[in-house]
Chains A and B, each alone.
Chain A
Amino acid sequence: MGIELKMELYTKTDDRVTSSQLDHLKMLEAESIFILREAAAEFAHPVMLYSIGKDSSVMLRLAQKAFYPGKIPFPLLHVDTSYKFPEMIEFRDWYAKHVGAELIVHKNQKALDDGANPYTLGTQKCCGLLKTRSLLDALAEGGFDAAFGGARRDEEKSRAKERVYSFRDSLGQWDPKNQRPELWSLYNSRHHKGESIRVFPLSNWTELDVWLYIHSENIPIVPLYFAKEREAIVRGEQILLLQTGVRPLPSEKPQMVKCRMRSLGCVPCTGGIRSDADTVPKIIDEMISFRRSERENRVIDHDEEGSMEIKKREGYF
């Protein structure tokens, strides 16, 4: 019963849109399901990186479909930096239960105990410790030889060249100049002990495809994606929600802003956008008229030209 009530909270759609023809979404769906099954068949210990965002929600639905009526044959792994929005954590626990998947939550407790935080370390170092290091530790601890990620090639320039099966050496590092060729849908899963492969079933999806699919499949997402009056501080172009961990500068005053999140990350590094879109179709309408890319509100990508590529080489998703 509780689950049903929650479902309404997490899916907001209306019937303005009739999805009579979904040719291209069906093709993307079929390809993603093929990739999920292929990896589940060929790897000994796969795991799905679950980041709670909209892409993760879509990836999870595809996994449900791929193995129906069986259960998803691998666990979900959430790398918790402990700087996530509380709504995300609440959603995560609800959704994993709803889907019936095993959920592993991993924190870099040592770094946190040593006082790792984005304010004194800076975003790059903080991400390095709490996300990248933590992820690599979690993969090694679990003995996982493959990890599904929800990354899309349209997100960022260096991702455009990432393979569907992205090989990582025994230190979890990516070598962009020495990637395996990937032809047809014949994926090479072979690796030595200690090496692993990141598998990206949503490689060919765009942000718009993700939203269209969420709409047509009525997939639950974190309510932070829907516009609402929220207490925030406005810092230049960024709208930062007033939550634990956000530290206003002396000159900044909290105010109510109708806004939503376009992508979800850690509280101090993820800004909102002004928006009235409080249903999925309205978000899609907004997307279509958008002229700004979704990672723009992620502070980390802008630290340095090519910063995503540097992080990815080190093992970031």
Chain B
Amino acid sequence: MSTATPEPADALSASASSPTAPKSVAEALTHTAGLLRFSTAGSVDDGKSTLIGRLLYDSQSVFEDQLASVRSSKINRASGPIDFSLLTDGLRAEREQGITIDVAYRYFSTPRRKFIIADTPGHEQYTRNMATGASTAEAAVVLMDATKGVLRQSRRHAFIAHLLGVQHIVAAVNKMDLVGFSQEVFDRISGEFREFADQLGIRNVYAVPVSALEGDNVVRRSKRMPWFEGPALLEHLESIPASAGAVSGPLRFPVQYVIRPDASFRGFAGQLASGELRPGTSVMALPSGVKTKIQSIVAFEDEPESAGPGNSITITLDDEIDLSRGDMLVAEEQAPFKGTEFHATLVWMHSEPLDPHKIYVLKHTTRTVRARFNQIRHRVDINTLEHVPATKLDLNEIAAVDVKTTLPLFFDPYRLNRTTGSFIVIDPLTNATVAAGIIDGAIDSGSGSRSAAHRKHSTREERILRFGHPAAAVWLKGRPHVAELVERRLFDEGWQVQLAGPNDFLSHELVTVAKAFRLSGYITVFCPLDDGTDQKQVVRAIFGPDSFFAVRITDDTDEEAVERIMNVLRKWRDTYSDPYKGKS
């Protein structure tokens, strides 16, 4: 371990010559890495405000008069020269109570990119604020205190970020100055966090040791932690690929507004959720199922040749078809689900609990319908991540529910498309936004089917879209009743699953059974008898080594075994990449 002289990485009196702020017009215009939105969560004393203040200050996004106003503030709690949290805690109530109670947005830029921080409180009673902040973020900075390690709060933030589809998690171990910049402390905390993230199926974790107070590894690499070779926090955030244009997947264009200046022009305006289009692109209109082609993309100055994800555009069509706000133009070959019933995860955001008998207003893309949530499948304990049975849903609670809408929605699972997979729930009487919803997948019934325009037989890709996973085999030896528990758990969570017990078929039928389930896209739970005839290799060959999981239960408890298997399967499902890939 290094024993370098403790000398702040840079002093607070840093001059205007910060290396991170853009230096010229040209430089400011060429944020080559585009825009990155990230969320943070934390409480009073884990140094979150200090970290953000540090990022703003070092990138010259804090102005002198704002600093002066903080310095002279009546309620400056600071003992040091500047209390950064006074810069970031915006509302009077917060300044007076020293807490952060809402989501605040902060802005700063470096020569490489512009950043938007969604700054949220970390306590359990602010779960909804964390979810709000994470809903638009591509990255999340989970702040941990080096003197305290991985707390419930850190886990909660990571879980909510993952739930809301945040792709990049940064574990910032703060207050390294208080633990003597110890590599051992950092390794222990970051290791523990990684293990947890792994369980959730989070793939992109970057851990970095920092001291927000003194600036180590925030903007510049610290000389006081030579054992750490990775980039500083800001350098890492600069290198995360921007999501603009990166939303893969087939065409989804929710019609937002119809532009009709006169009888000769009828344009359809909206923001492209995914896919690309150009004049000549074939599209299908939903709900009508009518097919036509893009005639032109109309814009204020020049007519663009093509449009990609995130672009707000206006298009005209080859044919006069019935199309208005709330409808959607999609790729004919890869249409979204069209239906009135689906599985979703709700984050409840209102003090009045969910009423399963009430009809709510549901807004999904540009479409607003009525909906009911009459079945709560289970609640997720955001601290332990356990699924617990629930009959009601209170403020800040998260649950898997069945949704039934009055009119069909055109949707994709949230994991595949954040725009067509998300919705909000509004109370029709008070007009309050009461919940955020994440679509997990269609309910396997007649109404949850793909668009009627699909006349060809269903494909493997379509089944993956519906089920949320391809076929797999779980080869479970040791305790047959655990196989039943696993099957029940998978089923309850919306997986397409079938138990293949030892008494369900004769041993020579195994190959046929395995092939049939593999073709149907099922997670098949086998619990073979221990009779010496090992047909494991046969089944493994049918499902393929990546989708075959042999489990031997030894001394785990039943619950531990189920949890272990579930974790493996969730991780496998998450690493299973976008089924649209390579299929443009």
Interface residues of A, Cβ cutoff 8 Å to B: 16-31, 33-34, 37-38, 40-41, 64-71, 153-154, 157-161, 176-177, 179-186, 188, 190-192, 203-204, 206, 208-209, 212, 215-216, 281, 284-285, 288-293, 296, 302, 305-306, 309
Contacts and interface: CB of A to CB of B under 8 A. Distances in A.
Contacts of B256: 34, 37-38, 41
A209 B73 CA distance: 29
B196 interface: no
A161 B90 contact: yes
Contacts of A26: 244, 311
Nearest to B135: A183
A31 B419 CA distance: 13
B431 interface: yes
B95 A306 contact: yes
A71 B262 CA distance: 11
Interface string B255-277: 01101110001010111000000
A97 B101 CA distance: 45
Interface string B55-96: 000001001111001000110000000000001111111010
Contacts of B432: 180
A70 B265 CA distance: 9
A68 B298 contact: yes
Interface stretch (B22-30, B443-451, B455-463): B22-30
Contacts of A292: 63-65
A161 B91 contact: yes
Given A177-B91, A186-B423, A281 B34 contact: no
A288 B22 contact: yes
Contacts of B114: 24, 206, 209
Given A27-B310, A33-B312, A309-B92, A212 B29 contact: yes
Given A179-B102, A181-B433, 17 more contacts: A21-B32, A23-B242, A37-B270, A68-B299, A154-B107, A160-B104, A161-B91, A161-B103, A180-B433, A184-B135, A206-B107, A212-B28, A212-B29, A281-B25, A285-B25, A288-B28, A291-B60
Contacts of A154: 106-107
Contacts of B105: 153, 160-161, 203-204
Nearest to A16: B25
Contact of B25 (A17, A65, A153, A161): A17
Contacts of A291: 16, 60, 63-64
Nearest to B63: A293
Interface string B399-436: 00000000000000000001100111010000111001
Given A20-B30, A160-B90, A183-B422, A208 B312 contact: no
Interface string B269-293: 1110000000000000000000000
Nearest to B244: A27
Contacts of B349: 181
Contacts of A34: 256, 271, 312
Contacts of B267: 69-70
B283 to A, nearest CB: 19
Contact of B431 (A20, A21, A31, A188): A188
Given A183-B436, A215-B25, A70 B259 contact: yes
A65 B257 CA distance: 13
A161 B424 contact: no
Q: What 9 A-B pairs come out closest when comparing CB atoms?
A: A293-B63, A23-B34, A33-B312, A190-B431, A70-B261, A183-B135, A157-B90, A30-B312, A24-B35
B314 interface: yes
Contact of B29 (A19, A160, A190, A306): A19
Contact of A18 (B26, B312, B314): B26
Given A305-B73, A306-B92, A65 B300 contact: yes
B34 A24 contact: yes
B361 interface: yes
Contacts of B269: 37, 66-67
Contacts of A184: 135-136, 418-419, 422, 424
A209 B109 CA distance: 10
A156 B298 CA distance: 37
29 contacts: A16-B25, A19-B29, A23-B33, A23-B244, A27-B244, A28-B35, A29-B312, A33-B271, A33-B312, A69-B298, A70-B261, A157-B90, A161-B91, A176-B93, A181-B129, A181-B436, A183-B131, A183-B136, A183-B436, A185-B136, A185-B271, A192-B431, A209-B114, A212-B29, A290-B63, A291-B64, A293-B65, A296-B65, A306-B92
A17 B92 CA distance: 42
A40 B270 CA distance: 12
Interface string B103-119: 11111010001101000
B28 A284 contact: yes
Interface residues of B, number: 83
A154 B109 CA distance: 12
A64 B300 contact: yes
B137 to A, nearest CB: 11
Nearest to A65: B300
B26 A41 contact: no
A183 B267 CA distance: 28
A123 to B, nearest CB: 17
A160 B103 CA distance: 8
Contacts of A180: 432-433
B378 interface: no
Nearest to B257: A37
Contacts of A284: 25, 28
B91 A176 contact: yes
B74 A305 contact: yes
A282 to B, nearest CB: 9
B433 A188 contact: yes
B31 interface: yes
Contacts of B113: 24
A290 B28 CA distance: 14
B51 interface: no
A27 B34 contact: yes
B21 interface: yes
Nearest to A310: B92
Contacts of B364: 186
A224 B445 CA distance: 65
B128 interface: yes
B103 to A, nearest CB: 7
Contacts of A302: 69
Nearest to B91: A176
A306 B86 CA distance: 12
B132 interface: yes
Given A19-B29, A188-B363, A41 B325 contact: yes
A297 B269 CA distance: 40
Nearest to B418: A184
B378 to A, nearest CB: 22
Contacts of A191: 431
Q: Which of A30, A159, A281 has the most CB of B within 10 A?
A: A30
A174 B442 CA distance: 39
Interface in B351-376: 361, 363-364, 366
Contacts of A216: 29
Contacts of A293: 63, 65-66
Nearest to B364: A186
Contact of B24 (A183, A209, A285): A285
A289 B102 contact: no
A65 B299 contact: yes
A259 B351 CA distance: 53
Contacts of A65: 299-300
